[in-house]
């Protein structure tokens, strides 16, 4: 279970992605101004919601392949059925990107910019492709071919940076240049990922496999929806409650401190399949050791990356926003540090439980967390601005998953046969 190569490649790619994201922030602000940039961040914040169109099949396919491999069964037919279906579904659901754009423009963006509906539709269509790329990438991880999934985000970010830089060089103030620069790389990565995993634009030969996969994925879909209600409603709430400059403050700090979670995600993604293999083989000692190492690595990563960012924050904001930079509330910076610590802890146990298919516990926890998160973000956000949004999400973790998930993990990995998981998949 060598994780060194995918983790090293993933970290290199994610650092590249993070650097490009910061560069893209500056380019978009230069191209579009603060109000339109705030609108862009609101639209892109809907990406996790659009990704739910894949019905939770990425993780279901990954776990199914791991289960078949643990039983020494052939995984090729399962893989081909999953990726062929994902390719066709992305094309079939593309029109929904246009349908989503209208309510987004009229409801969420009305107080921030006058971007046309067609502009938003281009971005939404790109996000449809991005959601189904996840199926290809998780299958590649399940097959222990993690190099391309690790570097794909960097490729996408570099293409976006190149497109935005070209638009700025051409002095193209037309917003459709920015839309194309953001959406086109999503399509390119979708097509190349499909090629890497061998997806073909044809109907699957065995529809029973497709039905079984969708049935097994329903737990991941429910979990994903609840998770997005917890984590992906921040911009929606801010779009209603806060002015554009507050939205931009939140976005710039989240991009900066989000580097920690981006790098930690690489560790967790590379560890998913090995943890799944260990669990299904009931090798609980090595499994606990791996989770312990992930917690230590994540904590060290958070300290090494986040603390220097605190001292450089003013310069970073000036670099990202240029003439549009404003002073950041000190409470906003501190609240991000607390959030990162909580996320490293909970994400590690959540990844472990998901790799076990223990969706029942996850769904119940996250549904409760979503209610707490939405209420806390609304009330604290109204009172404290972007600082309240971060604190609201952090509080929701502390009151729910931060203590339930570790307890469930210890129960499932105790000595003796593992208790039956309460998953829906």
Confidence (pLDDT) at 332: 93
CA distance 341 to 158: 29
**155 within domain boundaries:** yes
Judge whether 245 lies within some domain. Answer: yes
pLDDT of the residue at 1:
45
Number of folded domains in the chain?
A: 1
Q: HSE (CB half, 13 Å, CA atoms) of 395?
A: 17
In a domain, 186, yes or no: yes
The reply to whether 97 falls in a domain is yes
What's the rounded Cα separation, in Å, for the pair 376 and 229?
Answer: 12
Q: Which residues contact 83 (CB under 8 A, 6 or more apart)?
A: 135, 136, 139, 194, 197, 198, 199
Side-chain-facing half-sphere of 85: CA atoms under 13 Å: 25
What's the Cα-to-Cα distance from 423 to each of 73, 144, 221, 272, 411, rounded to whole Å?
22, 24, 12, 17, 15
Which residue from 18, 256, 13, 301 is spatially nearest to 137, judged by alpha carbons? 13
- Residue 417, domain member (yes or no): no
34: containing domain: 4-412
Q: What is the pLDDT of residue 128?
A: 96
Domain-located, residue 207: yes
- Closest to 344 (Cα-Cα) out of 285, 410, 397, 411: 397
Cβ–Cβ under 8 Å, residues 66 and 142 = yes
In this structure, is residue 425 part of a structural domain? no
Distance CA 138, CA 57 (A): 9
What confidence score (pLDDT) does residue 79 get?
87
The answer to whether the CB of 213 falls within 8 A of the CB of 352 is no
Residue with tokens 């769904």, as numbered in its chain: 363
Q: Other CB atoms closer than 10 Å to residue 420's CB: what's the count?
A: 9
Are 152 and 133 a contacting pair, CB within 8 Å?
yes
Phi–psi pair at 172, nearest 5 degrees: -90, 100
Angle 57-70/207-231 helices, nearest 10 degrees? 120
Cα angle for residues 261, 341, 422 (degrees, 5° grid): 80
The predicted structure's pLDDT at residue 5: 64
Residues sharing a CB contact under 8 Å with residue 272, sequence separation 6 or more, in sequence order: 62, 141, 351, 354, 355
Cα separation, 33 vs 113, whole angstroms: 10
Q: Using alpha carbons, list the distances in angstroms from residue 7 to 12, 135, 141, 149, 268.
A: 8, 20, 12, 11, 9
Provide the token pair at 394: 């952090």
Question: Is 203 within a domain?
Answer: yes
Residue spans of the chain under pLDDT 70? 1-7, 10, 72, 415-425
Residue 291 half-sphere exposure, CB side, CA atoms within 13 Å? 25
Distance CA 405, CA 411 (A): 10
């Amino acid at each position: 279970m060598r994780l060194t190569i995918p983790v090293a490649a993933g970290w290199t790619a994610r650092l590249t992605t993070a650097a490009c994201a910061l560069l893209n922030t500056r380019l978009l602000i230069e191209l579009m101004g603060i109000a339109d940039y705030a609108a862009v961040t609101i639209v892109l914040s809907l990406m996790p919601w659009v990704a739910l169109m894949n019905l939770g099949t990425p993780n279901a396919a990954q776990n199914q392949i791991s289960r078949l491999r643990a039983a020494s069964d052939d995984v090729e037919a399962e893989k081909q059925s999953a990726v062929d279906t994902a390719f066709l579904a992305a094309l079939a659901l593309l029109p929904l990107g246009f349908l989503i754009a209208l309510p987004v423009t009229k409801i969420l963006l009305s107080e921030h910019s006058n971007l046309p509906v067609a502009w938003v539709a281009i971005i939404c269509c790109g996000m449809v492709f991005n959601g189904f790329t996840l199926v290809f990438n998780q299958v590649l991880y399940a097959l222990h071919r993690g190099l391309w999934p690790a570097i794909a985000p960097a490729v996408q970010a570099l293409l976006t940076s190149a497109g935005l830089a070209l638009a700025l060089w051409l002095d193209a103030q037309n917003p459709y240049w920015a839309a194309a620069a953001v959406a086109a790389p999503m399509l390119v990565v979708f097509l190349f990922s499909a090629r890497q995993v061998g997806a073909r634009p044809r109907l699957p030969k065995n529809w029973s496999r497709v039905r079984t996969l969708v049935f097994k994925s329903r737990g991941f879909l429910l979990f994903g929806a609840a998770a997005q209600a917890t984590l992906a409603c921040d911009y929606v709430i801010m779009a209603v409650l806060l002015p554009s400059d507050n939205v931009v403050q939140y976005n710039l700090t989240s991009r900066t401190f989000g580097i920690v979670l981006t790098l930690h995600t690489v560790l967790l993604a590379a560890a998913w399949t090995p943890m799944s293999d260990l669990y299904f083989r009931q090798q609980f000692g090595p499994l606990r050791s791996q989770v312990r190492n992930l917690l230590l690595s994540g904590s060290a990563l958070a300290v090494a990356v986040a603390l220097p960012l605190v001292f450089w924050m003013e310069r970073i904001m000036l670099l990202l926003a240029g003439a549009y930079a404003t002073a950041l509330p000190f409470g906003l910076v501190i609240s991000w540090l607390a959030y990162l610590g909580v996320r490293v802890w909970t994400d590690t146990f959540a990844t472990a439980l998901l790799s076990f298919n223990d969706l029942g516990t996850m769904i119940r926890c996250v549904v409760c967390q979503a209610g707490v998160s939405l209420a806390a973000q609304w009330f604290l956000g109204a009172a404290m601005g972007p600082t309240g949004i971060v604190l609201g999400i952090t509080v929701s973790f502390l009151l729910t998953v931060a203590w339930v998930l570790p307890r469930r993990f210890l129960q499932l990995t105790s000595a003796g046969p593992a208790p039956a998981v309460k998953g829906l998949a």
